[in-house]
Amino acid sequence: MKKSILNILLIFISVFVAKAQDMSEIRGTITDGETGEPLIGAIIRIENTEPPVVTVSDLYGNFSLENVPADAKKMLVSFLSYETKIINNLNLPAGGVKIINLVLEKTASQISEVLISAKSLTNTEAAIITYRKKSAGPVNGISSQQISELGDSDAAAVLKRVSGISVTDGKYIFVRGLSDRYSKITLNGAEIPGLDPNKNTVQTDIFPASIIDNIIVHKSFTPDLPASFTGGYVNISTKAYPETFILNFTTSAGYNPQANLRNDFLSYEGGNLDFAGFDDGTRNLPDEASGVVPPLYADNDKLDKITASFNKIMETSHYRSFLNQSHSFSVGNRIKLFGKPFGFFLSANYKINYTSYDNGIYGRYNLVESENGNMMNILISEKEIKGDEEAMLSLLAGFSFKVNENNGISVMFLGNSDGLKTARYREGQKTEDNLYMHEHVLGFLERRFLSGQVSGKHILPGFNKTELNWISSYTFSEQNEPDLRFFNYDGKDGSYNISYNAYPSPARFYRDLSEINSDTKIHLTIPSGLLGGKLSFKTGGAFTYKSRVSDSRKFDVLSQGLPFNGDIKEYLSDENTGQNADDAVYGIYVSNDPLTDDYNSYKAKEYISAIYVTAISDLSDRIKVITGARFENSYTEIKNNVSPFHFKYVSSEKIYPDILPVFNVRYSLSGSSILRFVYAKTVARPSFRETAPYAYYDFKEGVRVVGNPELKRTSVDNIDLRFEFFGKSNDMFSAGIFSKFFSDPIELVDDPRANNPEFHYVNADNSTMYGFEIEFKKNFAFAGLPNFSAGANYTLLQSYVEYVDNYGGEDNTVLSVKRPMYGQSPQVLNLFADYNNKEKGLNVNLAFNAEGKKLAVVTKGSVPNIYKQTFPDLKLNIAKSFGRFIKLKLSVNNILDSDNKKTYTYEGKEYIFHAYGTGRTYSFSVSYSIR
Amino acid sequence: MKKRLLKFVFAALIPASAFFIVSCKGESPTEQDPSATVFEDDGYGNITVTDRGNGVGDITFTSDKIWLLNGFVFVNEGQVLTIEPGTLIKGKPGTGENAGALIVARGGKIIAEGTSEKPIIFTAEADNREGTGVDMNAAGLWGGLIILGKATTNNLTLDKAIEGIPTSETRGLYGGNDDNDNSGIIKYVSVRHGGSDIGEGNEINGLTLGAVGRGTVIDNVEIVANKDDGIEFFGGAVTVKHALVVNCGDDSFDYDQGYHGKGQFWVSIQAEYSDRGGEHDGGPSDNETGTPYAIPEIYNVTYISAEDGNSRTFTLRDNAGVTYANSLFVNFDKGIDIEYLQDESGNTAECSFKMFQNGKVNIKNNVFYNVAGQTDNDDFDAAELLKISVPEDENGNPVYEVPEEYKNAWTESFLLNDNIVADPGISSGNPVPENPQTDNLAPYPEGLDEVNYKGAFGDVNWAKGWTLTFK
């Protein structure tokens, strides 16, 4: 393995070095200013050379001019009915490669020439802005350049920067305040698994920033996109086709005074590979316990043997923590293979992060009557300490090969592994039972996936340059949660108890989820000769398959009357196991109910097939109309793991055919300002679990969840009206209003008939959402400060959902739910200020993100719902280059030292449900790169 | 469980599959009625009962067979289950809905009339008729007996789902408007070793009574070694007499959700791991102060704690009221506590203490001995016997102080209500008093027996002979 990497390295270097010293190469991409798509067939020519140096941009809009005399001064780029761009002062590196990316604007008038300086032409942000400007619907994006300037570590952190996006739990994205149910995430345009047993959404924290080329967020539906999004469609593109040889090695260290270099970091004894994010088998279910566990008094010898096979670690303890670290290496180049251009990008990433706090508070309240109305009454108040250690490994290999001017193929492999080791301890008063609680939780969550994608792009010359794009993707993924341990007890001052009836008994839980996704998509773009070339079509289809298996097993750790003195290790010792225990009716034993396990486990499948057609017509120079529709047929199936012949077996099938129209008008007020109107219909389908016709117990959350086979998928009418202005130096301004009308929105209610939390998925009555969005970005060149820029985006929105049920009573007992939609923030604000001095290689970036409180936990009855409060997040990045190769970066996260807070609000006063602060993190990185 | 480690191998990379829908239907049971209840006779006199939705139907469990409950077995609405005297019924182990348990749904009836010679026994699969199959104190080996009716509760909703059964199983719902509802007869019934886990940090009670009405007869029941409470009432108005609860894991007698029935001759005998003699809540946490209020009238109880246990006599909270009269409380580590809540302006909120102030907590004409260490009638501290509890914050400090005058009023009520400290001469082994307490009896309300002694026993042990505790 090492040797082959070395060989590959030698190949680049030889390619790189072998060039004649007085010759240079120019590479770049030409973008169509009209569509934002690559411009194919643009002529790129160097002036005054003999023999002439000239080439044509290929199907990706890419071009490469070789053997350019290093002293060449002037380059011309032209295309019929487009402006000609002339680049002066080329300033080519002798023996090196120069990158020039350009956007060519269409011109109705005579041939116009635009002179540009060669300096700022490597900016990939320009391409994103052009894409935004020209796309059919409202689009936001973020480029690799911005990502590297912002210093974010993964896609979740990057996405926070995008207008109208917020991120919860560090991984689930909310677009325009709509919960993860209403967004869709793809990788290079193909479906990828969402590693959560109860959701269909993708966790975005598993993509390291260094593999991301760009992220595009579509806020309105066009027929070529999957229809199952309402808030936003996010596509993460990985790097694949570098313009020139690149090599990067970055290493960074982070320090958070609360978490790093501490002797009291809360953790537990795990496996030897925990640092790499893998369990080494330490947490595997013991072989003895893999079969049937006999109930007490059925086969006590066997039961004792099984009990003894489990490890005895069920309590948190203190360990030493090291610094946060991250190391990444990437290399890429574009070389010739069989005389054809071949690009590749390889990347390896490793990081480990520690997060810790001892300032957590956990509380529960109810509402009781008093003389002057009601009062909040405390039921539980506990302190919380937590330590998280997360390690991530990721490997990416991307290759692309241009067979000829009209045909190109790309292949990508991405392997990713993430391990999160969690130790949590809570202690405090459970007033409702008058107990002083101690609660230990030990967890390890492994998430892995391996994705392979093949895609191609073909220009069909015989068919008026019809363009064919396809991608086929296949992903394996799994989420394992081996040996999740809970140990609760009560008491203080030397007197302790395990009160089985007041809280869950000590237990071990094993949960595995695996998923296979395959996604094949074809797009055909037909520039028609109709209406003088003013009408074109795009058509295509998709077939997506997803299959998922979720298994869980739970073992209660019980005893019959064994006294507990507060020492967990002693309690679980061999002397206290089963028949060994002298001091008990029966000592420690485990109990497992295979039927309950099978009932809570499931297999599920989903097939979605789709076809679409879109017509794009230029009614005039100013008005562009896009109309079309997509037909999607989805089939889902879920069954639990109980034998099909057992009466507890349940299965459910759903088929939803949908026709989804789009009507979209883009009106150019001037060359730089645009008015858009979009109407589109989209859907939100329930997840597997939500339609499963049975109740299951979510052991981890301690709640029962009841699926609803009658659940209908939500259909949404989306309307967007937006004004956009694109100025010089990437300045932009946009403002828009939008509204969404939901039929049969799926909402979660806590059934008041149940004694304990029991969540039901219901179709609420129709709900609506209105919003206003504003965004700007301004460079301060007008004030003589071209290195300064600043920007902001702000989203204000309001939603309302209502659900009424009388729960078996007469009208007088009708209970209704009237509230904002689950997880919807009333406002989202992002601000940034940037100083970028290219000459000095200095970049300073200050970014702020905040969002309004949003519904986090639905409560029963009249107890106020729980909201997640604003977390104002201020971040600073300072990067400085030293010479051509070295760059140092300093960043400070959570400068304001904000706390995460979920609270009940009653009569203007806040009551803490859960609060903690993780403190500031300082990181420092060094990178060495060649490009 | 299969350990599926990701093999970093790509097999069949590109699904050539284009645009089609694969429809694979799951196999379904071949029987005619998939909801029919199955009675499976093994030929040795054991009948396994599996309820797949239709309930047991109108049926008699005869004493010549052993009836094995496989998961939750319901007596559906309109059905009557008759159990012959002397019948042995066993529950299979399991958790949640898979634990063997008998549930009499709203509108269903159970006629379980045992006799002192031939009691009806509910126990674990591993146990036998003599009670020697498992350890006397083994608990949580199966579910329990659950009776659901149409009487009133103070829940927010008319329907309420009994603990451990999801609302989607509508046979697990209880509550209604008929306090005179009749769920049948339970006489000379012994429930042993039950209380399996139902998932939410609690277990099935030995005898669960959800909104059971006055028409139901419950007289002479024994609950032994149940992992959770012995008997728990969720609302309802039923009267329970002669109830013996022994060595249960949690509280012996528990009520909530506005129980407003009556009780007489209740006995609680505890192990050192048992919790309170009584846990008395007024309403559910989402509607604590709803009506009807929980103000049952309980007379002639004998609550005996383990000598070295740390149990509390009983707790009143969440707006519960009560009358406890003519009773004996012995050997408890802690006395009675009552919850006090205060709003931000310092007023007493609706709570059990407020119920006391309003005359709805009456602890009168009782005898306490060795409760919270108090043994001397001439020199005892009533403040140890009657406590007030307030919520505490995350550091364990009280959220507010109880006004001194309130503390005094509560403590002074001990003597004002004719309670005394005296030794009745009883023990776990022999609950019949050596020193009968017959003076100064509170008058009896309608429907209770007018006996001339305090505690559950006069001069005979009515539990002798038919219970596991007093063989």
Q: Which of A408, A355, A409 is nearest to A386 (CA)?
A: A355
- R_g of chain A, CA atoms, integer Å: 30
Dihedral, CA of residue B432, residue B436, residue B439 and residue B445, to nearest 10 = 10
Least confident of A665-669, A705-709, A814-818, A862-866: A814-818
Helices and strands: H and E segment counts in chain B: 3, 31
Residue B20 has pLDDT above 50, yes or no: no
Structure tokens at A122: 């490597």
Residue A119 has pLDDT above 50, yes or no: no
Structure tokens at A795: 């989203």
**A790: how many CB neighbours lie within 10 A of its CB?**
15
Residue A18 has pLDDT above 60, yes or no: no
Out of A369, A501, A809, whose CB is closest to B289?
A369
Structure tokens at A401: 């090969």
Residue B370 has pLDDT above 90, yes or no: yes
Out of B93, B157, B310, whose CB is closest to A753?
B157
Residues in chain A: 931
Burial of A892 (0-12, 13-18, 19+ CB in 10 A): middle
The CA-to-CA distance between both ends of chain B, in Å, stands at: 46
What is the rounded CA–CA span in Å between residue A896 and residue A339? 56
Confidence of residue A747 (pLDDT cuts 50, 70, 90): confident
B173-174 and B120-124: which strand pairing? unpaired
More confident residue, B38 or A727: B38
Residue-averaged pLDDT of chain A: 86
What is the rounded CA–CA span in Å between residue B185 and residue A62? 87
Q: Which residues of A touch B200 (CB under 8 A)?
A: 504, 697, 702, 704, 755-756
pLDDT value at residue B160? 93
What is the rounded CA–CA span in Å between residue B127 and residue B136? 10
Q: Chain A neighbours among B 71-100 (CB < 8 Å)?
A: 71, 93-98
CB B108 within 8 A of CB B54: no
pLDDT value at residue A620? 82
Per the listing, tokens 């052993």 go with B66
What is the rounded CA–CA span in Å between residue B27 and residue A22? 75
Residue B109 has pLDDT above 70, yes or no: yes
pLDDT value at residue A198? 64
Residue B446 has pLDDT above 50, yes or no: yes
Residue A45 has pLDDT above 50, yes or no: yes
Confidence of residue A137 (pLDDT cuts 50, 70, 90): low
Query: Would you list the DSSP string of A314-363?
Result: -S-EEE----EEEEEEEEEEEEEETTEEEEEEEEEEEEEEEEEEEEEEEE
Residue A852 has pLDDT above 80, yes or no: yes
Q: Which residues of A touch B393 (CB under 8 A)?
A: 378, 381, 429
What is the rounded CA–CA span in Å between residue A53 and residue B311? 95
pLDDT value at residue A821? 86
pLDDT value at residue B317? 93
Query: Would you list the DSSP string of A120-163?
Result: TTT-HHHHHHHHHHHSSS-EEEEEHHHHHHHT--BHHHHHTTST
Secondary structure class of A20 (helix, strand, coil): coil
**Average confidence (pLDDT) over A325-349:** 90
- Closest-CA distance, A254 to chain B, in angstroms, reads 31
Confidence of residue A126 (pLDDT cuts 50, 70, 90): low
- Closest-CA distance, B166 to chain A, in angstroms, reads 7
Residue A142 has pLDDT above 90, yes or no: no
Residue A589 has pLDDT above 70, yes or no: yes
Per the listing, tokens 């574009």 go with A334
Return phi, psi of residue A150, to 5°.
Answer: -75, -20
B49 has a chain A CB within 8 A of its CB: no
Task: Write the DSSP symbol of residue A506.
Answer: P
pLDDT value at residue A13? 47
Among chain A residues, CA nearest to B348: A370
CB A718 within 8 A of CB A736: no
Asked if the Cβ–Cβ distance from A593 to B167 is below 8 Å, we say: no
Query: Would you list the DSSP string of A158-185?
Result: HHTTSTTEEEETTTEEEETTB-GGGEEE
**Average confidence (pLDDT) over B207-222:** 98
CB A444 within 8 A of CB A270: yes
Give A540's strand partners.
A523, A612
Q: Which of A686, A632, A677 is nearest to A659 (CA)?
A: A632
Secondary structure class of B229 (helix, strand, coil): coil
Confidence of residue B26 (pLDDT cuts 50, 70, 90): very low
Confidence of residue A129 (pLDDT cuts 50, 70, 90): low
pLDDT tens digit string along A147-182?
776 667 788 878 877 777 877 777 788 888 787 788
- Closest-CA distance, A770 to chain B, in angstroms, reads 33
**Average confidence (pLDDT) over A759-783:** 89
pLDDT value at residue A134? 65
pLDDT value at residue A136? 63
| A375, amino acid identity | M
Range A820-845 burial, b when 16+ CB lie within 10 A, else e: bbbbbbbbbbbebebbbeeeebebbb
Asked if the Cβ–Cβ distance from A653 to B227 is below 8 Å, we say: no
Asked if the Cβ–Cβ distance from A497 to B273 is below 8 Å, we say: yes
| A383, amino acid identity | K
- Closest-CA distance, A575 to chain B, in angstroms, reads 19
pLDDT tens digit string along B402-441?
999 999 999 999 999 999 999 999 999 999 999 999 999 9
Asked if the Cβ–Cβ distance from B286 to A290 is below 8 Å, we say: no
Q: Which of B323, B295, B294, B304 is nearest to B444 (CA)?
A: B323
Structure tokens at A388: 């998280």
Residue A534 has pLDDT above 50, yes or no: yes
pLDDT tens digit string along A602-637?
899 999 999 999 998 888 878 889 999 999 999 999
Least confident of A93-102, A125-134, A149-158, A675-684: A125-134
3-class SS letters over A710-736: CCCCEEEEEEEEEEEEECHHHCEEEEE
Residue A51 preceded by cis peptide, ω within 30 = yes
CB A12 within 8 A of CB A85: no
Q: Chain A neighbours among B 53-72 (CB < 8 Å)?
A: 53, 71
Asked if the Cβ–Cβ distance from B289 to A545 is below 8 Å, we say: no
Q: Which residues of A touch B137 (CB under 8 A)?
A: 560-561, 585
Secondary structure class of B151 (helix, strand, coil): coil
Secondary structure class of A899 (helix, strand, coil): coil
> Which of A278, A280, A292, A297 is the best mutation test for B, with the most CBs of B within 10 A?
A297
What is the rounded CA–CA span in Å between residue A186 and residue A473? 11
Integer angstrom CA distances of residue B156 from A705, B257, B319: 20, 10, 15
Query: Would you list the DSSP string of A542-581?
Result: EEEEEEEEEEEEEEEEEEES----S-HHHHTSGGGBGGG-
| A285, amino acid identity | L
Residues in chain B: 471
Integer angstrom CA distances of residue A117 from A25, A42, A101, A623, A891: 18, 19, 12, 32, 33
What is the rounded CA–CA span in Å between residue B61 and residue B47? 10
pLDDT value at residue B356? 97
pLDDT tens digit string along A657-669?
999 999 999 898 8
What is the CA angle A383-A385-A390, rounded to 5? Answer: 150
Among chain B residues, CA nearest to A638: B26
Residue B292 preceded by cis peptide, ω within 30 = yes
Among chain B residues, CA nearest to A447: B6
| B417, amino acid identity | N
B220: left (phi over 0), alpha (psi -120 to 50) or beta: left
- Closest-CA distance, A381 to chain B, in angstroms, reads 5
Confidence of residue A532 (pLDDT cuts 50, 70, 90): low
Task: Write the DSSP symbol of residue A199.
Answer: -
Out of A558, A702, A752, whose CB is closest to B156?
A752
Secondary structure class of B97 (helix, strand, coil): helix
Least confident of A158-167, A467-476, B256-265: A158-167
Q: What is the pTM of this model?
A: 0.88
pLDDT value at residue B118? 97
- Closest-CA distance, B57 to chain A, in angstroms, reads 18
**Average confidence (pLDDT) over A65-89:** 81
Q: Which residues of A touch B398 (CB under 8 A)?
A: none
Asked if the Cβ–Cβ distance from A863 to B286 is below 8 Å, we say: yes
CA A213 from centroid of its chain's CA atoms: 15
More confident residue, B181 or A101: B181
Confidence of residue A127 (pLDDT cuts 50, 70, 90): low
